[in-house]
């Protein structure tokens, strides 16, 4: 089993926590089996290979009730009571098929996950679709540690929804196996599967303020290193380009029908700043990344241009959401294998 898969499963099974050795071994065996049976994929269609079914707690309670009813029927020698008890028993059995049908044939697709900072929630966008025109009710999606949701597929053939999972460390975050569960229609049986969606959220380094501004570093080639705050020298408009910050879009002009234009500010054009790995001597890797992240956000907030220099990587100064995302992504994945895309 790969270490990635191991990590994934920890999230699933750590809820109860292994206490004894043999249970841990048992669990590891189960994990191996589950991983073989339900390998990770971008989209997963639920079929008999993946779906497990077993009486729910309510189902067991119902069985006890049926037993009591059967005893009543025997003791009163009442044939109609026998009949009713048997009817409910067979209803239980028929509901196995119905419960199973509610989950089978569904395709769950991983759409995207929003990047997040450690400790925040990442939104995982998923989609569930049906292949046959059958009603599916109360599909329960749950990520351990994350949020849960109930989804119906009645009128429409697919449904997009989000689950929020808190992320922890910088890098790619995989939320682990997703629980897909259904007890519809009678609640007597629980039909479920743990699917491993090939979806990960990008976790940025946690921003960490540093007392000194990085701009004072001497090796900035542009020279103009001091960021000026609050200096909004409006220069003019240019046509909107993808990646421009929405904050700089000339909305009023757009409303007047002048097309999408971006406002330009002179101050930033010649005051680009370099965020440099070397600017934080003595700091650890994570700390440096956190400081860089902090400053990237700070400059983006002020709509100033900034560039990034990491060992083995240079991003030319620019600004805008696209640029910020790229910078943050590089910071998030710094030091990980095959990080840059």
Binding site for other proteins (CB under 8 A): 58, 61-62, 65, 68-69, 71-91, 93-95, 97-98, 101, 104-105, 129-134, 137-138, 140, 148-150, 152, 157, 183-187
C-alpha span between 147 and 61 (Å, rounded): 28
> The tokens of 74 are what?
């025997």
- Residues shown for the chain: 341
Strand-pair category, 52-55 with 136-142? unpaired
DSSP-derived secondary structure for 192-215: EEEE-B---EEEPPPP---SS-GG
Residue closer to other proteins (CB basis): 146 or 214? 146
Residue closer to other proteins (CB basis): 72 or 318? 72
**What is the smallest separation between the CB atom of 22 and other proteins, expressed in angstroms?**
32
Residue closer to other proteins (CB basis): 24 or 134? 134
Of 99, 94, 5, 14, nearest in space to 52 by CA = 99
**What is the smallest separation between the CB atom of 52 and other proteins, expressed in angstroms?**
18
DSSP-derived secondary structure for 243-283: T--GGGB-HHHHHTT---EEEEEHHHHT--EEEEGGGSTT-
Strand-pair category, 189-195 with 313-318? unpaired
**What is the smallest separation between the CB atom of 84 and other proteins, expressed in angstroms?**
6
Query: Quick check: helix, strand or coil at residue 127?
Result: strand
Beta bridge partners, 109, equal 43, 127
**What is the smallest separation between the CB atom of 46 and other proteins, expressed in angstroms?**
12
**What is the smallest separation between the CB atom of 164 and other proteins, expressed in angstroms?**
14
**What is the smallest separation between the CB atom of 127 and other proteins, expressed in angstroms?**
13
Residue closer to other proteins (CB basis): 68 or 216? 68
C-alpha span between 134 and 102 (Å, rounded): 8
**What is the smallest separation between the CB atom of 185 and other proteins, expressed in angstroms?**
5
Residue closer to other proteins (CB basis): 48 or 218? 48
**What is the smallest separation between the CB atom of 135 and other proteins, expressed in angstroms?**
9
Residue closer to other proteins (CB basis): 90 or 316? 90
Beta bridge partners, 238, equal 262
Task: Kindly tell me the burial class for residue 79, based on how many C-beta atoms sit within 10 Å of its own C-beta (0-12, 13-18, 19 or more).
Answer: exposed
Residue closer to other proteins (CB basis): 61 or 234? 61
Residue closer to other proteins (CB basis): 4 or 94? 94
C-alpha span between 97 and 115 (Å, rounded): 40
C-alpha span between 308 and 275 (Å, rounded): 5
Beta bridge partners, 142, equal 148, 179
């Amino acid at each position: 089993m790969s270490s990635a898969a191991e990590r994934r499963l920890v999230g699933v099974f750590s809820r109860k926590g292994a206490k004894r050795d043999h249970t841990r071994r048992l669990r590891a065996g189960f994990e191996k089996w589950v991983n073989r049976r339900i390998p990770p994929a971008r989209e997963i269609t639920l079929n008999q290979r993946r779906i497990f079914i077993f009486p729910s707690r309510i189902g067991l309670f119902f069985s006890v009730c049926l037993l009591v009813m059967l005893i009543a029927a025997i003791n009163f020698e009442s044939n109609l009571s026998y009949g009713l008890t048997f009817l409910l028993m067979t209803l239980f059995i028929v509901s196995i098929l119905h419960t199973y049908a509610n989950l089978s044939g569904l395709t769950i697709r991983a759409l995207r996950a929003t990047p997040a900072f450690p400790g925040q929630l990442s939104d995982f966008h998923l989609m569930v679709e049906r292949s046959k025109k059958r009603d599916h009710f109360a599909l329960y999606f749950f990520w351990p540690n994350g949020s849960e949701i109930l989804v119906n597929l009645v009128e429409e053939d697919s449904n997009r929804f989000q689950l929020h999972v808190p992320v922890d460390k910088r890098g790619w975050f995989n939320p682990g196996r997703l629980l897909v569960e259904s007890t519809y229609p009678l609640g007597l049986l629980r039909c479920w599967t743990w699917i491993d969606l090939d979806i990960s959220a990008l976790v940025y380094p946690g921003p960490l303020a540093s007392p000194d501004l990085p701009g004072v570093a001497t090796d900035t080639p542009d020279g103009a290193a001091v960021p000026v705050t609050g200096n909004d020298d409006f220069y003019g408009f240019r046509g909107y380009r993808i990646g421009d910050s929405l904050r700089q879009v000339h909305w009023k002009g757009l409303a007047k029908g002048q097309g999408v234009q971006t406002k330009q500010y002179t101050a930033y054009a010649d005051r680009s700043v370099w965020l440099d790995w070397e600017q934080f001597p003595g700091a650890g890797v994570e700390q440096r990344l956190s400081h860089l992240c902090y400053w990237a956000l700070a400059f983006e907030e002020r709509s100033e241009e900034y560039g990034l220099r990491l060992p083995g990587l240079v991003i030319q100064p620019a600004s805008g959401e696209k640029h910020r995302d790229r910078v943050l992504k590089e910071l998030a994945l710094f030091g990980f294998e095959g990080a840059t895309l």
